[in-house]
Amino acid sequence: MILMKYISTRGGINPVSFSDSVLMGLANDGGLLLPSEIPDVSANLADWRKMSFVDLAFAVMSEFTDLPHKDLRAILSRSYLSFRHPEITPLVSVGNIHVLELFHGPTLAFKDVALQFLGNLFEYLMKSGGLHLNILGATSGDTGSAAIAGIKGRDRIRIFVLHPHGRTSKTQELQMTTVLDENVHNIAVDGTFDDCQMIVKSLFNDLEFKSKYALGSINSINWARLLAQVVYYFYAAFRAMDITSADRVSFSVPTGNFGDIFAGYMAARMGLPVEKLVLATNENDILSRFFQTGVYIPAEVQATISPSMDIQVASNFERYLYYKLSEDSGRLRDMMNRFESERRISLEVADGEKVDDLINACSVDTVSTLRTIGDFYNNYGYLLDPHSAVGVCAGVQNLEKRVPMICLATAHAAKFSQAIIDAVGKDIAKHPLIDGLAGLPTRCLVARASVDEIRSCIEAVCNKGAND
């Protein structure tokens, strides 16, 4: 077997191994890392269909990684122990769609599927290389808690998460600040999410600081996160084929950073028989506008009831563009450079043609999202969270005869109980993990929105650790 190498979308780095790509995060030339080729797994599908989630994860990932097989297996077995469902990501038929429940992990959101794996993977890489890592990230809510849950209590890794003080939901704040493990450092910044992101970006750009403190990143530009997500596209397609005896499936994916849906795009390119990928956005519709017109122009971010999708510039979109431009990194680099100055990308689309035959794009507004939550509760007794409801609404609009529609459910409704109250008029979205947060002790530092102040916080923690 030839080991997969990783290249940058912008063509400016020498190919690196999987392990190095995980530690690099963003490619050193500013691009995003991708496997140098996409394996064709069509011949494996019949075997893979019989596998459990963890065995399938091993089969999919061993196409892409350089880890010794027994180590990869051990990492995967550990990673999914924290899920509360034996199937990890079960597929549930509701009305005439299939809901892929991705929220059975420790923080009740789909990001756990990747971040539980990434936490174990980081720990393994640090141990085997005798290294240490300080993870630094900014969050508007969901990513922070899933990252903390993936990293807490691990050897050789600390995590620093910046959130805007008082601007996340109370539930999101408690999911982060009630984690008291020594290696977890929450910092509430007196400012907005943009301030938090700006501070994190400046610290990563301070190359001396970055290397002195071995800063690492856990956001969805990390290829290992996407790889973990490719697995459930295969798993769900097989379950839908078992139930319906169809030989092709479609997926509807609520989208923010184009991470989750890009994993589906990879699964299709690997040979999974995917009829359509439905890309569903909320009112922040830059991606759905792009797939309808070929023009990509950011607008102001609007706050919605599906806050984890309130994103304009989608960090993983560059990966898709690279393939769209036939893997021409020179053209891609020009396009991204021009985007920096002109804030606009446009592709030529012939009359009557689509940007991509595989992708149907749809923007779903708040009224339709609430109506979808209400309908699914009233008709089927099934509660959708507002992010999942955006995907379900778009999925229902794109139903085709004899093609099962798999709608990705990305969070448990209890995480967004206010939207449920607005949709069905009752406070019925409950989960013991959320109810149990009230009254727990918390730990969190409060800091001004200043790069220097956050830099000092990190130095203080790391230097104290060194003297213990």
One character per residue 122-161, x = contact with ligand PLP (rule: CB under 6 A)? --------------------x-------------------
User: Around 30, how many Cα atoms within 13 Å sit in the side-chain half-sphere?
Assistant: 9
Closer residue to ligand PLP in complex, CB, 299/460: 299
Name the minimum Å distance from CB 11 to ligand PLP: 25
Which backbone phi and psi does 445 adopt, to 5 degrees? Answer: -95, 145
Name the minimum Å distance from CB 347 to ligand PLP: 20
Closer residue to ligand PLP in complex, CB, 261/424: 261
Tokens of 90: 């079960």
220 binds ligand PLP (CB under 6 A): yes
Range list of β-strands (E), 109-198? 133-138, 157-164, 184-190
Name the minimum Å distance from CB 227 to ligand PLP: 13
Name the minimum Å distance from CB 30 to ligand PLP: 20
Closer residue to ligand PLP in complex, CB, 19/308: 308
Name the minimum Å distance from CB 195 to ligand PLP: 20
Among residues 111, 212, 426, 430, the one annotated as catalytic is: 111
411 binds ligand PLP (CB under 6 A): yes
Closer residue to ligand PLP in complex, CB, 123/318: 318
Tokens of 399: 């139903």
Can you tell me the distance from the alpha carbon of 306 to that of 144, in angstroms, rounded to the nearest whole number? Answer: 16
Among 144, 99, 141, residue whose Cα is nearest residue 305:
141
How many residues form the binding site for ligand PLP (CB under 6 A)? 16
Strands 345-346 and 295-296: antiparallel
**276 counts as catalytic:** no
Closer residue to ligand PLP in complex, CB, 278/454: 278
Name the minimum Å distance from CB 116 to ligand PLP: 14
* Chain residues 193-212 in contact with ligand PLP, contact rule CB under 6 A: none
* Chain residues 289-318 in contact with ligand PLP, contact rule CB under 6 A: 308-309
In order, the DSSP letters of 255-316 are -SSSHHHHHHHHHHHTT--EEEEEEEE-S--HHHHHHHHSEE--------SSGGG--SS-TT
DSSP label at residue 1: -
Can you tell me the distance from the alpha carbon of 332 to that of 221, in angstroms, rounded to the nearest whole number? Answer: 17
116 binds ligand PLP (CB under 6 A): no
Tokens of 353: 């043609």
One character per residue 251-290, x = contact with ligand PLP (rule: CB under 6 A)? ---xxxxxxx------------------------------
List of residues 6+ apart from 307 with CB closer than 8 A: 140, 141, 142, 169
SS (H, E, C) 408-420: EECECHHHHHHHH
Residues forming a β-bridge with 164: 189
* Chain residues 345-384 in contact with ligand PLP, contact rule CB under 6 A: none
Closer residue to ligand PLP in complex, CB, 308/372: 308
Among 377, 406, 162, 79, residue whose Cα is nearest residue 268:
406
When CB distances to ligand PLP are compared, the closest residue is 259
Select the residue interacting with ligand PLP from 164, 387, 394, 449 (CB under 6 A): 387
Name the minimum Å distance from CB 72 to ligand PLP: 23
Strands 33-35 and 6-8: antiparallel
Name the residues annotated as catalytic. Answer: 111
Footprint on this chain of ligand PLP (rule: CB under 6 A): 109, 111, 142, 220, 254-260, 308-309, 387, 410-411
